């Protein structure tokens, strides 16, 4: 027993030492600068806009591109991360011809109150809700969430069913039973005594990941409320978020039409390693929702 505790302490201090080494590197912000974003789209010849909105005390930052009258696709990044995780999709002409695309910085990341995160998935959804309300009008809205963005978009579909018409969950960490037991190092790093040592992006990330399991447990009785179409994308070589999370989705999404996309040799970083899978899922979902909307008219 003492040996196990001692080993954990050694790993904790090794982790802490590594973190101190990381702090000095400004690149650990996981975000592009505003000028870098503008330059990126200028070089791609895409008319994208960087915009902000107020949500309580927060100034939320996002980028949009495409025809604002077309179906909306909102990309939600993981942890840590920023809107740049999906920036290449906003320069994809085949998507721009069919949808209005938005990628946003979640609370505490990028330029949305950097370092000041929010651990509650429900409250994060509330903070993103104004985006849905602003652009909903008479159009479908599809949410794409990677990693921790996966349970967040599921929570938004639960809380705002009239605003969400489709979900694409990419390597989503949605099963509380599959969350690793990392309390031994995340709990100390979440305290004021040690949290200051973390880069701000890591601080926000550590706090929300530390609280993720109880957040997912709170969602357990709510999954049956999701009725919109769902596409689940997961790699069997995902070492960060086990592929068994997809099995959880199959078990819990009892009132939603669900499609699964698996790839044996795919890891966790799907937006970068296999963007075509997300691209194809978006086109399929946009076509499906557009046809359904026309049938209602």
> For residue 200, is pLDDT > 90?
no
User: How are strands ordered across the β-sheet holding 58-65?
Assistant: 48-55, 58-65, 100-104, 72-76, 141-146, 166-170, 230-235, 258-263
- In angstroms, rounded to a whole number, what is the distance separating the alpha carbons of residues 215 and 31? 26
At 94, list the tokens.
């085949």
- In angstroms, rounded to a whole number, what is the distance separating the alpha carbons of residues 135 and 137? 6
Task: Say if CB 243 and CB 236 are below 8 A apart.
Answer: yes
- What angle separates helix 149-159 from helix 212-219, to the nearest 10 degrees? 30
Q: pLDDT digits over 131-186, tens only? A: 999 999 889 999 999 999 999 999 999 999 999 999 999 999 999 999 766 565 55
Q: pLDDT digits over 62-120, tens only? A: 999 999 999 999 999 999 999 999 999 999 999 999 999 999 999 999 999 987 889 99
At 116, list the tokens.
């000041």
- In angstroms, rounded to a whole number, what is the distance separating the alpha carbons of residues 30 and 39? 17
At 291, list the tokens.
């046809």
> For residue 1, is pLDDT > 60?
no
Residues in the chain: 297
Task: Say if CB 115 and CB 65 are below 8 A apart.
Answer: no
Nearest to 54 by CA among 115, 116, 118, 127: 127
For the segment 290-296, the average pLDDT, to the nearest whole number, is: 54
For the segment 13-35, the average pLDDT, to the nearest whole number, is: 58
**Which DSSP string corresponds to 157-176?**
HHH-TTT--EEEEES----G
Tell me the β-bridge partners of 48: 65
At 60, list the tokens.
């939320």
């Amino acid at each position: 027993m003492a040996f196990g505790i001692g080993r954990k302490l050694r790993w904790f201090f090794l982790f802490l030492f590594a973190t101190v080494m990381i702090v000095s590197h400004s690149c650990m912000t996981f975000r592009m600068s505003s000028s870098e974003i503008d330059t990126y789209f200028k070089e791609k010849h895409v008319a994208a806009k960087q915009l902000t909105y107020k949500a309580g005390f927060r100034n939320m930052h996002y980028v949009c591109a495409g025809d604002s009258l077309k179906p909306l696709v909102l990309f939600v990044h993981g942890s840590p991360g920023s809107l740049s995780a999906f920036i290449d999709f906003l320069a994809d002409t085949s998507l721009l011809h069919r949808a209005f695309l938005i990628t946003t910085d979640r609370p505490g990341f990028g330029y949305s109150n950097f370092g000041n995160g929010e651990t509650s998935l429900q409250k994060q959804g509330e903070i993103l809700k104004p985006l849905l309300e602003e652009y909903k009008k008479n159009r479908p809205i599809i949410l794409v969430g990677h990693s921790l963005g996966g349970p967040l978009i599921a929570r938004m579909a639960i809380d705002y069913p009239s605003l969400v018409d489709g979900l694409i969950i990419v390597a989503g960490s949605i099963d509380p039973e599959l969350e690793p037991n990392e309390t031994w190092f995340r709990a100390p790093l979440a305290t004021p005594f040690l949290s200051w040592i973390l880069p701000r992006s890591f601080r926000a990330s550590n706090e929300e990941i530390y609280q993720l399991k109880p957040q997912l447990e709170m969602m357990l009785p709510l999954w049956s409320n999701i009725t919109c179409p769902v596409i689940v994308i997961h790699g069997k070589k995902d070492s960060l978020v086990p592929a068994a999370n997809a099995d959880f989705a199959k078990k819990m999404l009892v009132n939603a039409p669900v499609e699964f996309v698996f790839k044996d040799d795919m890891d966790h970083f799907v937006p970068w390693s296999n963007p075509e899978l997300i691209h194809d899922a978006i086109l399929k979902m946009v076509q499906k929702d557009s046809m359904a909307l026309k049938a209602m008219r």
